[in-house]
Amino acid sequence: MVSPHRPTGPEPPDALAAAAATGRPEAQAAWFRAEHPRVYRLCLGLLADPAAAEELAQDAMIHLLDRLDRRPPGSPYPAWRNRVVLNLCRDQARRRAARDRAEKAAAGRVPVAPPVLGPVERASAAELREILARTLAELPPREREAFVLRDLEGASTAEASAAMEVTAATVRSLLTLARRRLRRLLGPVLETGEAS
């Protein structure tokens, strides 16, 4: 006798989002479990600050859940999600930059650069994530967005283009610039690590 049930596996993001949009608690819980790690990685890559990324990821999940039923028809869920999170991260970065400018003006001084890490600290995975976050923070925002979406999250050029609301050629150009800049920024760190 053939089982009437299909094999279970991870549901596609579009199906999870459609189910969560119905308002059923179990569907929303499944959507949250599947989506939160992705949203957090996007926030971390775009903001380059783990604490800010964790906070914004929580807000982004609520923001997305509130708008699931208003997603544009025919828009693939991953592209829509990436665009929403990208816009939230841009807003957060603008607010943070404005706050930093105000604090610098009030203090009348420039913040001190973070210390250079020693060999023991470089061995730690947490320290490596910190190096990556700091390096990503050095990228101009649009280059960081292209790099995070394409290289860290594995989005296609078309998906990144839709999320960033730019042409595919612009995404490719920004990605080339980001990779070149990251090689230059990470070169001295990696050479120091190899020498120790």
> Is the pTM value of this prediction over 0.85?
no
User: Is 196 domain-assigned?
Assistant: yes
Angle made by CA atoms 193, 194, 196, in degrees to the nearest 5: 70
Nearest residue to 16 (alpha-carbon basis) of 1, 35, 3: 35
Q: What is the pLDDT of residue 48?
A: 87
- Do 170 and 141 belong to one domain? yes
- Do 192 and 138 belong to one domain? yes
- Assign residue 151 the CATH number of its domain: 1.10.10.10
- Do 182 and 94 belong to one domain? no
Domain boundary residue, one of 112, 140, 171? 112
User: Is 3 domain-assigned?
Assistant: no
- Do 14 and 92 belong to one domain? yes
User: Is 4 domain-assigned?
Assistant: no
> CB pairs under 8 A, 24+ apart, for 46-52?
46/85, 46/86, 46/89, 46/93, 46/144, 46/145, 46/148, 47/89, 47/92, 47/93, 48/132, 48/133, 48/134, 48/135, 48/136, 48/137, 48/144, 49/133, 49/137, 50/129, 50/133, 52/92, 52/96
Q: What is the pLDDT of residue 17?
A: 93
Q: What is the pLDDT of residue 3?
A: 44
**What is the rounded CA–CA span in Å between residue 30 and residue 9?**
13
Domain boundary residue, one of 112, 142, 161? 112
User: Is 2 domain-assigned?
Assistant: no
User: Is 120 domain-assigned?
Assistant: yes
Q: What is the pLDDT of residue 187?
A: 76
User: Is 70 domain-assigned?
Assistant: yes
Q: Each residue's pLDDT tens digit in the chain (196 positions)?
A: 444 444 455 788 899 999 999 999 999 999 999 999 999 999 999 988 888 899 999 999 999 999 999 998 888 999 999 999 999 999 988 888 888 777 777 665 544 555 564 555 545 567 777 777 788 888 899 999 999 999 888 889 999 999 999 999 999 999 999 988 888 888 776 666 544 4
Domain boundary residue, one of 70, 89, 112? 112
Quick one: which H or E segment has residue 78?
Answer: helix 77-107
- Assign residue 67 the CATH number of its domain: 1.10.1740.10
- Do 140 and 168 belong to one domain? yes
Q: What is the pLDDT of residue 43?
A: 92
Quick one: which H or E segment has residue 59?
Answer: helix 50-67
**Domain limits for position 103:** 10-112
